[in-house]
């Protein structure tokens, strides 16, 4: 299956790596208000050289407890970077945003995929995404980033995430988004306990049964930190294990920080998948 991302093809016939490019000031060490586009472009170029086939550009931190960012601020962070990347790189550029104004400006600058942790639930997002016509990734989240980790609760996490995503797909299709332009994501860490996250990974095939490509993001997340009792910088090998499991259980795209290592892991998964 090949996804058309604003003219750039994303071939999903084997599991692919999406490289994370945060352009939030707190994610870079210089402490400035903006990340220099040249620095961001260099990092993206490196990720593509390491085998990333899509770059996800985000200007608002969605980590638990993170503060909201104004539209103008988010736009000023991501648009120049997306414009530079889209002009230079052969791979599609994804915009990680929930705000319709940012979606519009990002796609005008060359973004070919919308990655929305709110699954187009903010006012105006569904309509704008339908109008823009680029593929969208719909992610499940219980609650909102500020408070989602306070008391996540489900009776049956797999069934509830699956039902949410199935309903969201129908709402998107009704709004005019083509079904073949929708990706789904269980939203690891977004309003989920460790047990919820592990169940969702184990039962990923139940989400794959919805028939749309899956995207998963577990890179360096607390589910890895909790199992391994490891700080952020000690989560690489655990992240590779869950990336490989995610791909084996059906994920088409794995969203990660550590591109080269994950590309190798997924190439091994693809080799096993292709075996007799």
Q: Which of the residues are catalytic?
A: 221, 255
Q: Least distance to ligand 8Y7 from the beta carbon of 214, Å?
A: 10
Q: Which one among 217, 242, 258, 269 touches ligand 8Y7, defined by CB under 6 A?
A: 217
Q: How far apart (Å, rounded) are the C-alpha atoms in residues 275 and 273?
A: 6
Instruction: Give the footprint of ligand 8Y7 on residues 220-259 (CB under 6 A).
Output: 221, 255
Considering the rule CB under 6 A, would residue 215 count as an interface residue with ligand 8Y7?
Answer: yes
Phi and psi angles of residue 194, each rounded to the nearest 5 degrees, phi first:
-55, -45
Considering the rule CB under 6 A, would residue 96 count as an interface residue with ligand 8Y7?
Answer: yes
Instruction: Give the footprint of ligand 8Y7 on residues 166-205 (CB under 6 A).
Output: 185, 187-188
**Do strands 251-256 and 16-22 pair parallel, antiparallel, or not at all (unpaired)?**
parallel
What residues contact residue 269 under an 8 Å CB cut-off, 6+ apart? 15, 244, 247, 248
When the beta carbons of 24 and 265 are compared against ligand 8Y7, the nearer one is 24
Tell me which H or E stretch contains 83. helix 71-88
Q: Which one among 115, 149, 239, 262 touches ligand 8Y7, defined by CB under 6 A?
A: 115
Sequence-separated contacts (24+) of 68-76 with Cβ below 8 Å: 68/146, 69/24, 71/99, 71/101, 71/102, 74/99, 74/102, 75/101, 75/102, 75/105, 76/34
Q: Tell me which residue has tokens 């994303």.
A: 10
Instruction: Give the footprint of ligand 8Y7 on residues 53-92 (CB under 6 A).
Output: 58, 62-63
* Token digits of residue 214: 């899956």
Residue with smallest beta-carbon separation from ligand 8Y7: 217
Q: Which residues bind ligand 8Y7 (CB under 6 A)?
A: 20, 58, 62-63, 96, 115, 117, 137, 139, 185, 187-188, 215, 217, 221, 255
């Amino acid at each position: 299956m090949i996804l058309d991302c604003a003219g750039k093809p994303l071939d999903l016939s084997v599991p692919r790596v999406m490289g994370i490019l945060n352009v939030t000031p707190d994610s870079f060490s210089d402490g400035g208000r903006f990340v220099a586009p040249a620095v961001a472009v260099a990092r993206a170029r490196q990720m593509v050289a390491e085998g990333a086939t899509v770059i996800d550009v985000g200007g608002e931190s969605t980590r638990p407890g993170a503060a909201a960012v104004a539209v103008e601020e988010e736009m000023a962070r991501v648009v120049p970077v997306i414009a530079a990347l889209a002009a230079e790189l052969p791979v599609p550029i994804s915009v990680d945003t929930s705000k319709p104004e940012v979606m519009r400006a990002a796609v005008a600058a060359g973004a070919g995929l919308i990655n929305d942790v709110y699954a187009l639930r903010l006012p105006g997002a569904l309509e704008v995404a339908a109008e823009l016509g680029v593929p969208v990734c719909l992610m499940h989240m219980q609650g909102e980033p500020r408070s989602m980790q306070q008391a996540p609760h489900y009776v049956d996490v797999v069934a509830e995430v699956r039902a949410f995503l199935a309903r969201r797909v129908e709402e998107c299709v009704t709004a005019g988004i083509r079904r073949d332009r929708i990706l789904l994501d269980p939203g690891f860490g977004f309003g989920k306990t460790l047990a919820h996250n592990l169940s969702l990974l184990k039962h990923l095939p139940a989400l794959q049964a919805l028939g749309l490509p899956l995207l998963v993001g577990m890179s360096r997340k607390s589910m890895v930190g909790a199992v391994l009792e490891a700080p952020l910088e000690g989560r690489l090998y655990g992240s590779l294990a869950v990336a490989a499991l995610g791909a084996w259980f059906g994920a088409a795209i794995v969203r990660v920080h550590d591109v080269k290592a994950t590309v190798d892991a997924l190439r091994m998964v693809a080799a096993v998948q292709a075996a007799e």
